[in-house]
């Protein structure tokens, strides 16, 4: 907990510089640089296989980059495991949700960070209590605290995954396709939550292939293609068509800052 630093408004919350990662000779991520400021939402766009999820897993500690560096609050950091990422306040909501289906909501929310009684045993009542509080914010109708999350609906499971990320005051939130499994009402709920968290000064990486979602919520977009960064732009400076051009062709429009992966005109 002491590793967490108060955000400094003059430096980005997180800065990834020239990150590269290969799997068996294939460069999944190739020299990508990204940054994220407090209270900012950065949409990370790209086709399937563009390297978005791989890049983000480097930040969340699931993978280690072959090259490049990560700065949190301007300080170089080494993120060797998911546990390291969490000590820096980096929380991730994975596309697969990464829930243990046989455990209940509270056990999942606190997995790896259990509340213990003074005898060192699990304090399930305290964990359920905290989970009830955070779920009341996210999904007020949620009542199924005693059931394994396997029995829950897609939207309820998503709420549990989000609850796990925001319960431990995250500074940096990574949302990998947060609305892929949701209906329209639940998608709107996630959108409201993103705005609420943003207002609290949390920085959010939003990974999505729904360009409309991203334009509604994000301040900036970064586009990846074939593992490389095509470019980064403020959503106010580019149109949706231009963004599609970046995703599909790798063509960087005038309103964007081109990256190494931009098509040479």
Binding site for another protein (CB under 8 A): 60, 62, 81-83, 86, 92, 94, 96-103, 107-108, 111-114, 116, 120-122, 125-126, 128-129, 148, 164
CA 139 to chain centre: 20
Instruction: Return the beta strands (E) in the chain as ranges.
Output: 14-23, 26-36, 41-45, 67-72, 75-77, 90-93, 172-176, 203-207, 220-225, 228-234, 257-258
Please state the closest distance from residue 153 (CB atom) to another protein, in A: 14
Please state the closest distance from residue 112 (CB atom) to another protein, in A: 4
Listed residue (108, 136, 138) closest to 124, CA to CA:
108
CB 43 within 8 A of CB 204: no
Please state the closest distance from residue 172 (CB atom) to another protein, in A: 16
Please state the closest distance from residue 139 (CB atom) to another protein, in A: 18
Q: Nearer Cβ to another protein, position 37 or 142?
A: 142
CB 257 within 8 A of CB 228: no
CB 36 within 8 A of CB 203: yes
Q: Nearer Cβ to another protein, position 116 or 248?
A: 116
CB 14 within 8 A of CB 90: yes
Q: Nearer Cβ to another protein, position 127 or 246?
A: 127
Q: Nearer Cβ to another protein, position 103 or 211?
A: 103
Please state the closest distance from residue 52 (CB atom) to another protein, in A: 17
Number of residues assigned to the chain: 265
- C-alpha–C-alpha distance, residues 87 and 110, integer Å: 14
Please state the closest distance from residue 242 (CB atom) to another protein, in A: 35
Distances (CA, A) of 145 to 112, 149, 152, 213, 229: 19, 9, 10, 30, 42
Q: Nearer Cβ to another protein, position 129 or 200?
A: 129
Q: Nearer Cβ to another protein, position 17 or 132?
A: 132
């Amino acid at each position: 907990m002491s590793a967490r630093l108060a955000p400094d408004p003059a430096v980005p919350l997180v800065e990834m510089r020239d990150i590269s990662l290969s799997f068996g000779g294939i460069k999944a991520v190739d020299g990508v640089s990204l940054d994220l400021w407090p209270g900012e939402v950065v949409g990370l766009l790209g086709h399937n296989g563009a390297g978005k999820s791989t890049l983000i897993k480097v930040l969340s500690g699931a993978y280690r980059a072959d090259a490049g560096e990560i700065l949190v609050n301007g300080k170089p950091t080494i993120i060797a495991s998911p546990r390291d990422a969490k000590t820096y306040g980096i929380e991730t909501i994975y596309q697969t949700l990464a829930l243990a289906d046989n455990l209940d909501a509270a056990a999942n929310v606190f997995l790896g960070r259990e509340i213990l009684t003074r005898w060192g045993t699990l304090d399930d009542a305290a964990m359920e209590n905290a989970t009830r509080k955070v779920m009341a914010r996210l999904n007020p109708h949620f009542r199924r605290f005693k059931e394994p999350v396997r029995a829950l609906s897609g939207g309820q499971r998503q709420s549990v995954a989000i609850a796990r990320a925001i319960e431990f005051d995250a500074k940096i939130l990574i949302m990998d396709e947060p609305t892929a499994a949701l209906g329209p009402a639940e998608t709107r709920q996630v959108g409201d939550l993103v705005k609420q968290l943003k207002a609290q000064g949390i920085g959010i990486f939003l990974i999505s292939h729904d360009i409309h979602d991203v334009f509604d919520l994000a301040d900036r977009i970064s586009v990846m293609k074939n593992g490389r960064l095509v470019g980064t732009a403020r959503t106010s400076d580019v149109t949706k068509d231009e963004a599609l051009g970046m995703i599909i062709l790798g063509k960087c429009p005038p309103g964007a800052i081109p990256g190494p992966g931009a098509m040479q005109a």
